[in-house]
Structure 1
Amino acid sequence: MSNVEAEPAEVTCTSTPGDVEVLEPREVPLGGPRAMSVRRTLPQKQRSLIGAWCFCDHYGPDDVKMDVAPHPHTGLQTVSWLFTGEIEHRDSHGVHAFVRPGELNLMTGGRGICHSEVSTTSSSVLHGVQLWLALPDAHRDAPRDFQHYAPPTVVLDGAALRVFLGSLAGSTSPVTTFTPLLGAEIVLPAGATIKLDVAPEFEHGVLLDTGDVIVGETALAPGALGYLGTGRTTLTLSTQDGARVVLLGGEPFGEEIVMWWNFVGRTHDDIAACRDEWQAETDRFGRVDGYDGARLPAPPLPGGRLRPRGNPA
């Protein structure tokens, strides 16, 4: 998915473990043909990464038509996860696929890829999350790739889990990532409490989609992301009326990155070079076949050099 903000902010991020905190979402209007808004919890001023997770947009349920023209990505993997709806995906790796509820689509941008996203005529309501993973420096020029996985449902104390990345509750995803990670959808019935065994070297984030949930002793409002630092071996979730959450986790990233528009780099010059090549239509990003329309132009860079902004120490 593209970040189609007219004036995207630049972000330079570091990843450090921290205390439990609640990251409140901010409404971000996305203009252009998609004409919808999202609730963004990553990145933000006080915390930019959870493991390698560097971008989290939560949207819907909205009765909208998505039509995002071909746009570029570098230095990251995109993770698409839907609760409702269907989106048609085409990319310059030659992949033509569909994003459907309960099925993971993971695209590797690496040195450069471009793709389009169009909601299908079979659904008008879209509801889901769009996530990005920063690639470590040793792999940030990885070749283009696309992986699809429909995880089985695992039942734990009445809760239904779908583990789309990493391992949890005896379920392991075969999808390849470049740092140790966890991603799962968890649906809790009314009155449920579950205790999850988690890796102590991971930091975690719990995004509440619908319902009510208490993470440990902290209640989250819908759309909020509860952050938990490293050192925990268990994570407890409880609900009164039922809930659906997305659990994210990973080892602290340990590298600085610069995010701007749809690019992840290490310096201002990295980002400027990516923008120049996209505007010049070089071979770096390839082309999307089968999309009827023009590519999405890059917005202008901000007036000054892109500056660092990262997690608290």
Structure 2
Amino acid sequence: MSGPVSTVDAPVTRADTGHPEAPCVEISDSREATVGTTRVRRALPRRGRRTVGAWCFADHMGPADVTENSGLDIGPHPHIGLQTVTWVTDGQVLHRDSLGSEQVIKPGQLNLMTAGGGVSHAEEATGHYRGTLEGIQLWVALPEATRHGPAAFEHHDRLPRADLDGGAGAATVLIGDFGGAVSPARRDTPLVGVDLDLRASATVPLRTGFEYALVVLEGTVAVHGKALHPGRLGYLGEGRDELRLEVREPARAMLLGGTPFEEPILMWWNFVGRTRAEIDAAHASWQRQDDRFGRVASALPRIPVAAPHWQRAGGER
């Protein structure tokens, strides 16, 4: 369910990543798209809101019906400069990558792939699971210190959980720390990602130096009287030390936060870079099928892509 990003999602520019705001509730609609064969709601990036902390991409996938041999069906494709964070809430997905990883991911488990200077992967049917598939894939922009480093993959079959006050539900910590629970997953910048299983209204702890956003996966969650339901991103700004979430029936939401990402980024297709020249070089490597992105042991066809529009238009790099 990874990518691609288009200019509809965010202009191809290094400017305007979306400046952090004081505490607020800024609601924007997701864009519906099809990735592989599956419908997604793309909450990030949006025009004017490129990042939340280092989080730069959020696709809520499904629910979709899949079979043993037909699922996401996303063939081998490349990444640079980011991490993919895959979280399945229902069903199963098979991940394969150019590092040789072959990993089925199930609900409650986390796949984290670090692209560094280049990696490729595919997301496939498992060969044994039939039923409903739903989840979210997130991207994290890597900082200058690690974005040219080696690719890596990690799978965590158990993640820490924290109970919400008053028996209001539970929080599963994908990345970072929350409520005294600390995820074992790698993070390259101060960052947090939490799956909130809400059974009643709750007040959740925040860090004043983080900016936050909420992506609702199931049900409706209200913040300061503003309702968020699947298909919307609620940007919450920075400066809060807690947040009151109002629910009338069970709901599920992803809380994303981090220190504002000050490095200007350029996003095109499945790449997160800094300059057009970097994107051009990555595109050329994928077209040449050189060693930069390796090979994925997948029966699915490799995904091609046309040159960036600035090349076709003869624009400056």
| Structure 1 and Structure 2 fold alike (TM over 0.5) | yes
In the TM superposition, residue 296 of structure 1 has moved relative to its aligned partner by: 1.3
Deviates more, 1:7-16 or 1:119-128: 7-16
For structure 2, which runs of at least 5 residues remain unmatched after alignment?
A: none
- In the alignment, is the contact (CA less than 8 A) between 2:18 and 2:48 conserved in 1? no
**How many equivalent pairs are there?**
302
1:17 is paired with a residue whose SS is: coil
Partner residue, 1:265 = 273
- In the alignment, is the contact (CA less than 8 A) between 2:25 and 2:223 conserved in 1? no
In the TM superposition, residue 184 of structure 1 has moved relative to its aligned partner by: 0.8
Deviates more, 1:10-19 or 1:145-154: 10-19
Query: Compared with structure 1, are the counterparts of its residues 215 and 274 closer, same or farther at alpha carbon in structure 2 (3 Å cutoff)?
Result: same
> Over aligned residues, Cα RMSD in angstroms?
2.1
In the TM superposition, residue 297 of structure 1 has moved relative to its aligned partner by: 1.3
1:296 is paired with a residue whose SS is: coil
In the TM superposition, residue 104 of structure 1 has moved relative to its aligned partner by: 0.9
| Structure-2 separation of matches of 1:164 and 1:123 | 26
Higher relative contact order (CA 8 A, sep 6+): 1
- In the alignment, is the contact (CA less than 8 A) between 2:57 and 2:138 conserved in 1? yes
Q: Does 2:142 align with 1:135?
A: yes
| Structure-1 separation of matches of 2:7 and 2:214 | 28
One-letter identity of the residue aligned with 2:46? Q
Partner residue, 2:195 = 185
| Structure-2 separation of matches of 1:216 and 1:202 | 19
1:284 is paired with a residue whose SS is: helix
Partner residue, 1:295 = 302
Question: Superposed, which structure 2 residues align to 1:3-152 within 5 Å?
Answer: 3-4=3-4, 10-12=11-13, 13-18=16-21, 19-30=24-35, 34-64=36-66, 65-120=71-126, 121-149=128-156, 150-152=158-160
| Structure-1 separation of matches of 2:106 and 2:195 | 14
| Structure-1 separation of matches of 2:72 and 2:215 | 23
Partner residue, 1:311 = none
| Structure-1 separation of matches of 2:294 and 2:208 | 41
| Structure-1 separation of matches of 2:316 and 2:32 | 23
In the TM superposition, residue 8 of structure 1 has moved relative to its aligned partner by: 7.4
**Which of 277, 282, 287 lines up with 2:290 in the alignment?**
282
Question: Superposed, which structure 2 residues align to 1:148-159 within 5 Å?
Answer: 148-149=155-156, 150-156=158-164, 157-158=166-167, 159=169
Partner residue, 1:2 = 2
Query: Compared with structure 1, are the counterparts of its residues 7 and 294 closer, same or farther at alpha carbon in structure 2 (3 Å cutoff)?
Result: farther
| Structure-2 separation of matches of 1:91 and 1:6 | 23
| Structure-1 separation of matches of 2:5 and 2:12 | 14
For structure 1, which runs of at least 5 residues remain unmatched after alignment?
A: 309-313
Query: Compared with structure 1, are the counterparts of its residues 307 and 155 closer, same or farther at alpha carbon in structure 2 (3 Å cutoff)?
Result: farther
Q: Does 2:219 align with 1:211?
A: yes
Query: Compared with structure 1, are the counterparts of its residues 254 and 165 closer, same or farther at alpha carbon in structure 2 (3 Å cutoff)?
Result: same
2:48 is paired with a residue whose SS is: coil
One-letter identity of the residue aligned with 1:44? R
In the TM superposition, residue 225 of structure 1 has moved relative to its aligned partner by: 1.4
| Structure-2 separation of matches of 1:6 and 1:219 | 28
Q: Does 2:255 align with 1:247?
A: yes
Query: Compared with structure 1, are the counterparts of its residues 231 and 271 closer, same or farther at alpha carbon in structure 2 (3 Å cutoff)?
Result: same
CA offset digits 1:274-302 (Å, max 9, x no partner): 0000110111111112x124321123321
**Which of 235, 242, 245 lines up with 1:237 in the alignment?**
245
